[in-house]
Amino acid sequence: MSHPMHDDIQEVLYTQEQIQQRVRELGAQLTEDYAGRDLHLVTILKGSLPFLADLMRAIDLPLTVDLMGVSSYAGIHSTGEVRVTMDLDETIEGRHVVIVEDIIDTGNTLSYVLRNLRQRAPASVKIVTFLDKPARRGSPLEADYVGFTIPDDFVIGYGLDWNQRYRNLPYIGILKRDVYAGPL
């Protein structure tokens, strides 16, 4: 039997079990930190969908969720140009916002989103990212909550794509170089 998606993986970085464990810990931390406040989760589409789905169920507080579509990648490269593909549905004015991201890489996307959201006068803004790849950061940007800090490899799965594919892999893996660079 062939496994086309899995054959494109060089190495599994985090298994489904490791992911679930870490997300439960992040949820517990947010539950503690936001007790007594109305928490509003703002998710950056599309990569963060699986993380949002798991994280929100690991937070034992009343909360609300909204979605913002933002895109800037072509293949493995950031175009540097951040495009809003879908705006939030609700106002964030006066609310305690936590941005839910799958990965911070160059930081282009989140710098843009932070600037955009701060103009809407929220009561507070914090960031939770499942993965942090500090090696490629263009401008200084730190998340308040980080799942895992990863090395400088292009990763896929658990929402993360290469050219819109592999988002449905249940684990985080490093994509084989010859998939995006062609055979050497």
Ligand X SMILES: O=P(O)(O)OC[C@H]1O[C@H](OP(=O)(O)OP(=O)(O)O)[C@H](O)[C@@H]1O
- Per CB under 6 A, 154 contacts ligand HPA: yes
Count the residues of the shown chain that bind Mg ion, applying the rule CB under 5 A. Answer: 2
Of 24-32, 53-61, 139-147, 153-161, the window that binds ligand HPA (rule: CB under 6 A) is 153-161
Binding partner of 155, given ligand X, Mg ion, ligand HPA, none, CB within 5-8 angstroms per partner class? ligand HPA
Residues 158, 55 contacting (CB under 8 angstroms): no
Q: Please list, residue by residue across 108-139, b when 16 or more beta carbons sit within 10 angstroms of its beta carbon and e when fewer do.
A: bbbbbbeeebeeeebeebebbbbbbbbeebee
In the region spanning residues 34 to 93, those forming contacts with ligand X, defined by CB under 6 A, are 44-47, 71-73, 78
CA distances from 143 to 6, 9, 129 (A): 30, 27, 7
- Per CB under 6 A, 52 contacts ligand HPA: no
DSSP 1-56: ---HHHHTEEEEEE-HHHHHHHHHHHHHHHHHHTTTS-EEEEEEETTTHHHHHHHH
Find the catalytic residue in 8, 54, 102, 105: 105
Q: Contacting ligand HPA (CB under 6 A), which of 98, 128, 141, 155? A: 155
Q: Is the Cβ of residue 54 or residue 102 nearer to Mg ion in the bound state?
A: 102
Phi and psi at residue 38, in whole multiples of 5°?
A: -85, 110
Q: How far is the CB of 45 from ligand HPA (least distance, A)?
A: 13
Q: Is the Cβ of residue 14 or residue 73 nearer to Mg ion in the bound state?
A: 73
Closest CA to 100 of 142, 55, 61, 136: 55
Residue 105 is among the residues annotated as catalytic for this protein:
yes
Binding partner of 154, given ligand HPA, ligand X, Mg ion, none, CB within 5-8 angstroms per partner class? ligand HPA
- Per CB under 6 A, 132 contacts ligand X: no
- Tokens matching residue 23: 């997300």
- Residue 112, classed as helix, strand or coil, is helix
Binding partner of 174, given ligand HPA, ligand X, Mg ion, none, CB within 5-8 angstroms per partner class? none
Site residues for ligand X per CB under 6 A: 44-47, 71-73, 78, 101-109, 161
